[in-house]
Amino acid sequence: VGNVWLWWVDVRSVSEAVVQAWAATLDASERDRAARFRFATDRAAYVAAHALARVLLSRVCGRPTNAWRFVAGPYGKPRVHASMGVEIDFNLSHTRGLAAVAACAGADVGVDVEGTIRRHGLGVAEYHFAPAEVDALRRLQPAPRQEAFLQLWTLKEAWSKATGRGLTSRLDAAVFVLEPFSVDLSAAGEDASAWQFHRCAPTAEHVLALAVRRSGREIPLERVVAREVRHQELVMV
């Protein structure tokens, strides 16, 4: 097991020409989906995430970016096709303005990004979160409550994406305490000691959570901020 790789790109700083160059690295079905986005900003984030996934996998596994073939798991999690002959899990997430990808050989990974602009009321938490989490949110003032809500939401999504079940899993089965950080996965029948979670704010307007399910000890995290594509090469910050 090597590192957990976490790459992201602030799509707001990427020109349309760069998005076009990135789009050229996608396969036909990805390009089809990209073409169906109504807003250019959403399309850019989708294209960035999918291109970034290929570049990251290529960097880690030493294959050409356009060689990657994917297959969907039982609940839709894309995985590397067996014909590629590499054992690596990856996951991607995109929201307006930001794309992120995580990958690890030897562990399951899930990543989620959300914008902080969108406001969420307690109703969503009451529906999806565990009672203890809702109580913790209630005790906070509106601004920190909003921040805590997004952290909980992204952590839960990252967890559900690492397992591959996505939103078919009960999000209240993963119970998080933010400060000091702890997690209880017993309601999901999971051993929390096999998991590691990371949180960060890639930009002032985005939050990100990463979940890793491993069989051994803590895996070091390598973060890379991708800035731009020139001649289909990523330029690192």
Ligand X SMILES: CC(C)(COP(=O)(O)OP(=O)(O)OC[C@H]1O[C@@H](n2cnc3c(N)ncnc32)[C@H](O)[C@@H]1OP(=O)(O)O)[C@@H](O)C(=O)NCCC(=O)NCCS
Where does this chain bind ligand X (CB under 6 A)?
Answer: 46, 75-78, 91-94, 110, 112, 157, 160-161, 164-168
Give the residue among 89, 5, 8 at the shortest CA–CA distance from 45. Answer: 8
How far apart, in whole angstroms, are the C-alpha atoms of residue 164 and residue 75? 6
Q: Which is nearer to ligand X, 77 or 135 (CB)?
A: 77
Residue 143 CB, shortest distance to ligand X, in Å, is: 23
Helix count (H) and strand count (E) of the chain?
6, 12
- By beta carbon distance, the residue nearest ligand X is 166
CB atoms within 10 A of CB 45: 26
Q: Which is nearer to ligand X, 78 or 106 (CB)?
A: 78
Residue 169 CB, shortest distance to ligand X, in Å, is: 8
Residue 135 CB, shortest distance to ligand X, in Å, is: 25
Residue 123 CB, shortest distance to ligand X, in Å, is: 18
Q: What is the pairing mode between strands 175-177 and 221-230?
A: unpaired
Q: Which is nearer to ligand X, 161 or 213 (CB)?
A: 161
Tokens of 65: 């970016």
Tokens of 9: 């790109």
How far apart, in whole angstroms, are the C-alpha atoms of residue 18 and residue 24? 10
Q: Which is nearer to ligand X, 109 or 175 (CB)?
A: 109
Residue 118 CB, shortest distance to ligand X, in Å, is: 12
How far apart, in whole angstroms, are the C-alpha atoms of residue 237 and residue 226? 6
Q: Which is nearer to ligand X, 59 or 75 (CB)?
A: 75
